[in-house]
Amino acid sequence: MNSNSSRRQFLQVGSAAAGGLMAAKTILLDPRPLGAAQKAASGKKLRFAIIGIGMEGSGVLGTAITLPNVECVGAADLYDGRHTLAREITGNQSLPVTRRYQELLDRKDIDCILAAVPDHWHKRVVVDSCNAGKDIYCEKPMSHTASEGFEMVDAAKKNSRIVQIGAQRVSSALCAKARELYHEGAIGEVENVELTLGRNDPTGAWEYPPPPDLSPQNLDWDTWLNDAPKIPFNPERFARWRCWKEYGTGVGGDLMVHLISGMQVTLGWNEPPRSASALGGIFRWKDGRNMPDIHVVLFDYHGVPVYVRLGLGTESPESARYMGPKGILDTGEFDLRHSRQKGVDTSPSYYTSSYPQKMRDEYVKQWHEEHDVPPGQEPIGSDTVYRGNDWDDLRPHLFNFFQAVRTRKPVVEDAVFGNHAAVACHMANESYFRKKTVYWDQATRSIVT
């Protein structure tokens, strides 16, 4: 395929769908995540610094430096091993590194910040960056509590800063295609949504191996705890912080936030849910965690039910299904299936088996007279599958951020958007812990029962 070819390329028609009964045509979305857009990165070279070079930050940093016209000029982490890692990733043995991110915020030669710190640090890092005049890309979920999110929105607004939250799929070609199809009326008005995801392995359940050399000598443990209760140095808490509500936001904030963010983009929704009712528990990973490993939630989004199933006990595909009277949009990491439905009877109603013979025969005859299409004009039921670049690819989303920093045009996932997605996660957690339905109260900007 030639690099100048159009964004969407028709590759293949007529591959069989599951079961072989339904024909599906397959369309390949441009596999290059950025395509020609990369050329737009002209103008000022951006100098960025990164805060948090752990599991995600190492990927964010490694990806960011592959983008055009940007340069990493500093890195902060509370664990010294990650200073070494930042230098390894950038290939710059003299990259300035520090335990104190405030030093990076004070530097006038730094244009913007990328942050991949645990959830309980997001608010402070974002508010401090905005107050220091720095634009910031901060990992999802935006906040650790609902109230924090509003402080972050206010800080971005007050300082006119670009804030991009890092649920990267919102910048993917797959989400863009789903949004386009939905707004063209592909399924009609959405009537319900199903968001699902399941894992079944220790790493998927966050039982990460702490770095073997980790110690209070090479990690500033007290600072790492931030506002969480003070406890003695604990390597498991450092590596597996997602398991505890004191630092993380559970499967809701870790995983569901991606599905909710994708839903917001696809359907054009930008609001918190009205209510959330959750059930769940710790079924499998009884390792001392306090966050559930099974979490099922029913949200009310202005009357539309959104059902969510998240589990760490059984592997199942990650999928967001949007259903309406004209069919289904089923989105996954690499593809999007559009299944069309007519919503009409295709044969005489089976209810007429309850009619006496003569009445049934007359009904069936009349039905065929009124509904049969001429031979050769029968509609062929057909699905369309769009295949695209991995919706978890960080490049398009980071690129969108850097472009916004250059142009001052809005990002795709600003603080208001990120806050709405995060509030849904907090409502799911509140409902689980309070064991009752919780509601969003816009007047007090808080979760109530």
Ligand X SMILES: NC(=O)c1ccc[n+]([C@@H]2O[C@H](COP(=O)([O-])OP(=O)(O)OC[C@H]3O[C@@H](n4cnc5c(N)ncnc54)[C@H](O)[C@@H]3O)[C@@H](O)[C@H]2O)c1
Out of 139, 383, 413, 414, the only residue in the binding site for ligand X (CB under 6 A) is 139
Q: Is 83 helix (H, G, I), strand (E, B) or coil?
A: helix
Residues in the chain: 449
Task: Please return the burial class of 156, using the count of CB atoms within 10 Å of its CB with bins 0-12, 13-18 and 19+.
Answer: buried
Cβ–Cβ under 8 Å, residues 62 and 84:
no
Comparison of 143 and 431: residue with beta carbon closer to ligand X: 143
Q: Vertex 300, ends 292 and 258: CA angle to 5°?
A: 55
* H helices present in 299-414, as ranges: 357-371, 395-407
Task: Work out how close the CB of 98 gets to ligand X at its nearest, in angstroms, rounded to a whole number.
Answer: 9
Out of 33, 74, 118, 418, the only residue in the binding site for ligand X (CB under 6 A) is 118
Cα 418 to Cα 112: distance, rounded to the nearest angstrom:
18
Comparison of 12 and 66: residue with beta carbon closer to ligand X: 66
Per-residue 3-state assignment (H helix, E strand, C coil) for 265-297:
HHHCCCCCCCEEEEEEECCCCCCCCCCCCEEEE
Comparison of 262 and 324: residue with beta carbon closer to ligand X: 262
Comparison of 87 and 274: residue with beta carbon closer to ligand X: 87
- Residue 423 touches ligand X, criterion: CB under 6 A: no
Task: Work out how close the CB of 23 gets to ligand X at its nearest, in angstroms, rounded to a whole number.
Answer: 35
User: Strands 163-166, 294-301: parallel, antiparallel or unpaired by DSSP?
Assistant: unpaired
Out of 46, 48, 50, 54, the only residue in the binding site for ligand X (CB under 6 A) is 54
- Residue 52 touches ligand X, criterion: CB under 6 A: yes
Cα 97 to Cα 74: distance, rounded to the nearest angstrom:
6
Residue nearest to ligand X (CB): 54
- Residue 140 touches ligand X, criterion: CB under 6 A: yes
- Residue 117 touches ligand X, criterion: CB under 6 A: yes
Cβ–Cβ under 8 Å, residues 428 and 252:
yes
Comparison of 78 and 265: residue with beta carbon closer to ligand X: 78
Site track for ligand X across 387-406, x = CB under 6 A: -----x--------------
Out of 143, 168, 171, 196, the only residue in the binding site for ligand X (CB under 6 A) is 168
Task: Work out how close the CB of 307 gets to ligand X at its nearest, in angstroms, rounded to a whole number.
Answer: 23
Identify the CA nearest to 52 among candidates 252, 247, 333: 247
The phi, psi pair for 107, rounded to 5°, reads -75, 130
Total residues at interface with ligand X (CB under 6 A): 26
Comparison of 141 and 272: residue with beta carbon closer to ligand X: 141
Out of 48, 101, 137, 269, the only residue in the binding site for ligand X (CB under 6 A) is 101
Identify the CA nearest to 236 among candidates 205, 201, 210: 210
- Residue 142 touches ligand X, criterion: CB under 6 A: no
Residue with tokens 């028609």: 13
- Residue 51 touches ligand X, criterion: CB under 6 A: yes
Residues 367-386 close enough to bind ligand X by CB under 6 A = none
Residue with tokens 């902060």: 76
Residue with tokens 């894992």: 199
Task: Work out how close the CB of 224 gets to ligand X at its nearest, in angstroms, rounded to a whole number.
Answer: 5
Report which secondary-structure segment, H or E, holds 384. Answer: strand 382-387
Query: In one letter, which amino acid is 185?
Result: G
Residue with tokens 């964004």: 7
Cβ–Cβ under 8 Å, residues 366 and 357:
no
Residues 215-234 close enough to bind ligand X by CB under 6 A = 223-224
- Residue 77 touches ligand X, criterion: CB under 6 A: yes
The set of residues, in sequence order, having a beta carbon less than 8 Å from that of 330 and lying 6+ positions away, is 319, 320, 321, 322, 336, 337, 339
Task: Work out how close the CB of 368 gets to ligand X at its nearest, in angstroms, rounded to a whole number.
Answer: 54
Task: Work out how close the CB of 119 gets to ligand X at its nearest, in angstroms, rounded to a whole number.
Answer: 5
- Residue 76 touches ligand X, criterion: CB under 6 A: yes
Task: Work out how close the CB of 61 gets to ligand X at its nearest, in angstroms, rounded to a whole number.
Answer: 11
Residues 229-288 close enough to bind ligand X by CB under 6 A = 254
Which stretch in 116-124, 275-283, 328-336, 400-408 sits in contact with ligand X by CB under 6 A?
A: 116-124
- Residue 413 touches ligand X, criterion: CB under 6 A: no
- Residue 56 touches ligand X, criterion: CB under 6 A: yes
Task: Work out how close the CB of 255 gets to ligand X at its nearest, in angstroms, rounded to a whole number.
Answer: 9
Task: Tabulate helix, strand, coil % of the chain (nearest 5).
Answer: 35, 25, 40
* Strand segments (E) across 105-232: 112-115, 135-139, 163-166, 192-198
Comparison of 76 and 251: residue with beta carbon closer to ligand X: 76
Give the interface with ligand X as residue ranges (CB under 6 A): 51-57, 76-79, 82, 101, 116-119, 121, 139-140, 166, 168, 223-224, 254, 392
